[in-house]
Structure 1
Amino acid sequence: MTSGQPRVRPRALRRGDRIALLTLASRSRPEDVEAAADELRSLGFEPVVRPAVDGGVAYVAGAAAARAA
């Protein structure tokens, strides 16, 4: 950092923390999303699947408004 500002780092994740699964561009296959959610659960986290992950409009993961929400 060259701004002279101290680095701000988030705290480390802990068991029970929620982690969002989201897609900003391309759609995800439902089986891949579920596998990722299962892996997070096995590590002690709470996955939160965002609505646009498995939806889709043409080649993107959902309508622009849904992806921005």
Structure 2
Amino acid sequence: MRISVDRDGCIGSGQCALTAPELFGQDDMGIVHVLPSGADGTDDPLVHEAQRACPVQAITVAED
């Protein structure tokens, strides 16, 4: 699966980084970014939990 994030829509709540810290990080402004471990695709089940935890649906997960 592939992960993409809408950095413009992100409000910096940090729920993704709390839920899946191996996949998501936050910059100095709190905006989400996908860490290298998730950038090339992942099968980590926490990615779906992080997607659901985002209050503004800034995370998209596409199944390969």
TM-score of the superposed pair, with normalisation by structure 1:
0.29
Q: Identify which of structures 1 and 2 has the higher relative contact order when contacts are C-alpha pairs closer than 8 Å and 6+ apart.
A: 2
Find the structure with the greater CA-based Rg: 1
Normalised TM-score (structure 2) = 0.30
